[in-house]
A and B are shown apart, each in its own frame.
Chain A
């Protein structure tokens, strides 16, 4: 009963380095999301994928890219990390695109960029 699994849990990068955050869900959900959480700002949507093969920008997409590898997996890539990308990143999934469906979250990746 894993739900949404994110790796790694913690990461420290130097400015300019790249990395990929991994996310997988085992609930057969169609939609997947990447959010970042910053103090006092709640969660802000970076990218989402309504279904396999599609991705769309959210509120704060600059500096990020995503790949919906298959129905289960949705990765987030930082090509050239900046200190402003220090944050906690959450992946989430949702059964459908209807407004009534809640999100199911992973436990997050805490990223520090020095």
Chain B
């Protein structure tokens, strides 16, 4: 079945460092791909999405490109801030009305 694998955390960075969180997927169809962010005590919020191969999703300085050839959707940000500290989830949505999530990666940004 469909699945998502993302890099294990936790990830700790200094402010203004470059961020990459790796995400790869397995799917039988042509899924849409998503990144969600979860702040402490809250539910998940959509960060960005891409719906077809080579699409780039972007929001708040974060970017991810849908790479069909490598089945990947890595999250990047050029300069992280303390306020970016959160848990990040990669997810895919395929034809069966489900959304499958990765295990989540906790990011801590230190001043």
Chain A residues near B (Cβ < 8 Å):
4, 31, 33, 35, 40-45, 48, 50, 56, 58-59, 90, 92, 97, 99-108
Contacts and interface: CB of A to CB of B under 8 A. Distances in A.
Nearest to A91: B43
A90 B32 contact: no
B104 A107 contact: no
B103 interface: yes
Contacts of A106: 43
B97 A31 contact: yes
A48 B76 CA distance: 31
Interface of B: 4, 31-32, 34, 36, 41-46, 49, 51, 89, 93-95, 97-99, 101-104
Given A41-B103, A42-B101, A99 B93 contact: yes
A40 B36 CA distance: 16
A92 B36 CA distance: 13
A101 B31 CA distance: 11
Contacts of B41: 107
A54 B85 CA distance: 38
A59 B1 CA distance: 11
